[in-house]
Structure 1
Amino acid sequence: MSAEPHATLPPVRLPSDAELARDALGAPLFARAVRLARWAGPDTRVDIGGELVAAQLPEAAAALGFDAADEEGAVLASQAWRVAVDTGLVDVTEPDDDDGEEESGTAVPGEDLALVTGGAPGEVLDLWLAALDTVLADASVPDLDGLVDALDAGGEIDFDQLDWNPRREADFLDGVLANLYLLTVAERGAPDGPVPLPVLAASMVIPQDMSEPTDAVLEQVSDAMMRLDEQFRQLEPIGLVEFRPVDEALMAETDDEELAAGSAAGAADDEDVSRYGMVRLTPLGLYGIRARMLEAGVTAPAVGELADKGADALLDAVSGYPEGAAQAEIEQWLTGRELPAAVAELLAAARGADEGGPLRRLRCQQALAPAGPEAEPAVRAVLDDPELGGLARVWLSERGAADVPAPDGAMVFWLTVDTIAAQLAADGETAELPLLMESLTAHHTGFFDQVWRVEHPATAYVLEAMGRLHPDKKAAKEARKAAFKARSRQS
């Protein structure tokens, strides 16, 4: 799959392999392939390439429950047979045409068919991934009528006339699916609402530095949207996506220029954006696209992968996760561990004066939030720790614990710097951050006269941010002065 080999994506939350395998077996196209594999027998005849001979397509369609005379049923049977052959559900012996005689090859159920009912979930998913490869390859092929028109005198495809580059088409579809995967996992790590088709098309066509798309670019977006409409129709039966196609009535009502403008804008002014098409990766689809990304060398983590790692690996990893995914990963890590020992390990891993230290401590605090009384001894053990003492006092105070020692001024200032540094690292300069800054500094007279002396590696950085963001202009000016002193002191 086309992707940056060293890219790192947000973690995805996936169901168990058993649940995914059930989804795979229930995907209409895969289920049809399995039925045809069971139908194959001594009388089954195939052409070169393993395709069913034309005379057998009506019988195959009938085996799938379609009317033998229905042309659409024959098409669906042909697709399912191709999947069955490509996945090993069917073994074919192609005809030997060396003697020049018209003979047919044969087909029988393959050894892998037994995995459908007797294999482990992972083996079923491997079969489904092979089926997905076949469907993706088919979805990258243009309309067959265009292929016929592009045949030259020798029966070969004239790609120049067709204006079709197989590698380019496959890369385009891979890019679309990668963007859809990223849109899905960026917020929640699991399927949520569908994505408008125009958004996907625009993400592939409009350059990031283009503020106002030209008419030519808008037309490209419209063309891409219609191409994706056809491709997602082909991808839905394998269980990759849930798809609502472009409303045919909309296309009849709208000329090409209006459709292009509406699609590129994401149909923002349309009361029903769904008329432009909506698509959503299923949990099985997320699994499939992630598997292809991993094969391409992309770092695509899944929630739960850190369950058997140490607390240091956990906190380092979840420091880069969205909050919801970080919480889910932490909860899975804590499951099955003895809480007192796990809390002690988390606190030890949260230490450090490196750049990632503040965010590790924030994630540690997040991990400790649901912990009960069993965690108190381990938390009290770090009350005198210069880096963890403030965190421990906050945790104990929130639970109404007795005998919590008051922090000295140095610890208060250090904790303030650490907290703001962690928020900057986690979310950047959000709209809520100025309010946090005001809250943390409001109750300390002469805060900026003292904070610049704090022995924290992020002191100057935090003060510079406060100088930009603090809602009180006087305080912001004092923060800028304090930042200058902190920088000079560090020099």
Structure 2
Amino acid sequence: MSIEWVNRAVADLREWGRARGVDVDVDEVRLLCDYASDYLNVHELGDFTPVTFEELLLDIYPRKVIAPPESAAETVAAARTLVDFLLATEEIGGKMAARMRSTLDRIEPEMPVALADTSLFGMAKSLFSAMGADSLEQGDVSVSSAAEVDGPDGEHDAGSCDCPACSPPLPPVRLAPREELASDALRVPLVRDARRLAQWMLAGGRTPTVRGRLRVRDAAEARAQLGVADPALLWDLAVHTGLVRVERTAVFDGEDPGPLDVWAAVVGFLLTSGTGGAVTGHPALDEEIYTLLDMAYRLQEPVPLPAVAEHLEGVGLLDDGPVDLSALVRRLAYCGLAEAGVDDHPDGEDGGGAGEDDGAAPEVLELTPLAVWGMRKLYGDFGIEAPEVADMVAVGAPELIEELLSGIPEEMAEADIEGWLSGRPPLEAAAELLDAASGAQSVVRGVAVSIVDRLGPEAEEAVRGRLDEAELRPHAIHWLSARGLPAPALTPDEALWMSVDMLALAISAAEDDPEAFAENISASGPPAHVIEEMWRVDHPEVVEVLELLGRSMRDQATAKAARKAAFKARSRAIG
């Protein structure tokens, strides 16, 4: 991602080129600087070395950038211009410039081969390259001489490609309370181990390499003394998050910015820094973490591991053999990104969660509340709108109903209803809901009545007060009668009207999943003799309801009765 030093460098380079009449490919140079910053720990122009160019052009570009092999010449030319600029501005000396130019001379014939070698592609690049060269030329992916595809921070028009920045809008999510998240962040095993390693390095007076990396001997001692599996990853994480501060080979205690700020840096590091297999044990899987978490974030429910396997197979990650997905989930749980438990109740029944501690293998990929928070923060850093669902407890009934109709996941909807009802007495809740239902569309009325149906006799006064409203009267009578409270009898016309009204609520759900609706309505829907009379009901959606029944009822006689009733209802409306 472009940061301040990159912006300054590009501006200075552009001015330098104008002053000397040099044709500068600013976009290519910016991409070089961006990737050097993101992946090679380059924090200023003076950090560039011959090795930087070698790693950029023969490792990072082949893995991360969609670019045809013939574009290598333009990229190497831009790198040579950058070397000229570094020398002219005295960021490097003459000997360093000569070494850089010699390295670029060697790279130039090798880079087209590397760009064409599909075995070197990262998973994001493999996914987008699968569209083929024709799609690049036609603009399905925005490309100049190269297009960044590994993250959603590229500078292209939204909607011009399939990268995360141009993907469909994100669904709203419900975040855990901030204090709960902060407490959870302090308990993430990966972060705790990074803190332990940082303190161990400081306490022992140990120093990193000149490039700020953990020394081999210190890594070996850390494994033995601290019992950590990957000290190098922990050290890089400690440095990246500011838990320690490194100046050349000196180590200083860092300024802990707070648990959530540290956690945000952790998520950014794990998902965008090219960890090379240190997270999952598979370099290609490390590059796929963002995609997997993005999938779970969008679904807002646990993803069964067979679905994860299907996704990985689709992007070619299982070509070399199966991956232990349970181990993958456990590793992500160690990193604080996934829940370690299993799906103990796939049929929706409550059950005790089994986690990694009891030896059960995870069966689903489920984001932790911390992961949801961290992903949303990362989306924001990328400039992607990531809406948050407001706390429904304090809102009015119209806002609650609107949110429930927005398509939020069933589990979230249930929690919102329970929270909203717990925040007010039953009588007050019923009055608010029925006020919102009065004169509203049938779908709004249906949601409101369904929630009121959860309330006990304490809400009687509010419900009884709606007996004089034609659209609410049948629902009120049914509510009172179901609780053994005094109520007038439903007339046949009122019973029919209420049946149509409640079926109207199901129209949207039936369109989303017609098979499930057909199965349910065929098992528990109204009989043919009732459906035959529905055409007489003075309800604005009676035709739609009858047409739905005609399409969905599996009993042919009942379906035919619904179609005939729909015809009569349409004829009556026309007449």
Q: TM-score, normalised by structure 2?
A: 0.57
Which residue does the alignment assign to 2:242?
Answer: 88
Tell me the CA shift for residue 328 of structure 1. 1.5
Determine if contact 1:89/1:109 at 8 Å carries over to the other structure: yes
After superposition, where does 1:24-423 map in structure 2 within 5 Å? 24-39=185-200, 41=202, 43-54=205-216, 56-58=218-220, 60-61=222-223, 65-66=226-227, 73=228, 76-92=230-246, 94-95=247-248, 104=249, 106-112=250-256, 115=258, 124-137=259-272, 141=276, 170=287, 172-182=288-298, 185-186=300-301, 195-196=304-305, 198-203=306-311, 205-206=313-314, 221-223=318-320, 226=323, 235-241=332-338, 279-292=365-378, 297=384, 305-319=391-405, 320-352=407-439, 354=441, 357-358=442-443, 360-402=444-486, 404-423=487-506
Determine if contact 1:380/1:392 at 8 Å carries over to the other structure: yes
Which residue does the alignment assign to 2:126?
Answer: none
Aligned residue type for 1:239? G
Work out which of the residue numbers 526, 533, 542 in structure 2 matches 1:438: 526
Helix, strand or coil: the match of 1:438? coil
Q: Flag structure 1 segments of 5+ consecutive residues without an equivalent.
A: 67-72, 96-103, 116-123, 145-161, 207-216, 245-273
Tell me the CA shift for residue 332 of structure 1. 0.8
Determine if contact 2:197/2:234 at 8 Å carries over to the other structure: yes
Helix, strand or coil: the match of 1:107? strand
Q: CA RMSD in A?
A: 4.0
Q: 1:232 to 1:406 in 2, by over 3 A?
A: closer
After superposition, where does 1:452-491 map in structure 2 within 5 Å? 452-490=535-573
Identity among equivalent pairs (%):
34
Which residue does the alignment assign to 2:22?
Answer: none
Q: 1:309 to 1:278 in 2, by over 3 A?
A: closer
Tell me the CA shift for residue 438 of structure 1. 2.3
Tell me the CA shift for residue 54 of structure 1. 4.5
Which residue does the alignment assign to 2:55?
Answer: none
Helix, strand or coil: the match of 2:423? coil
Helix, strand or coil: the match of 2:245? strand
Tell me the CA shift for residue 234 of structure 1. 5.2
Tell me the CA shift for residue 465 of structure 1. 1.4
Tell me the CA shift for residue 298 of structure 1. 5.7
Aligned residue type for 2:323? M
Q: 1:57 to 1:435 in 2, by over 3 A?
A: closer
Tell me the CA shift for residue 399 of structure 1. 0.9
Determine if contact 2:244/2:251 at 8 Å carries over to the other structure: yes
Residues in 2 aligned to 1:221 and 1:59: alpha-carbon distance in whole angstroms: 35
Tell me the CA shift for residue 353 of structure 1. 5.0
Q: How many residues align?
A: 385
Helix, strand or coil: the match of 1:421? helix
Q: 1:3 to 1:455 in 2, by over 3 A?
A: farther
Deviations 1:168-210 (A, max 9, x none): 984x432222333455x34xxxx5xx732x421313554xxxx
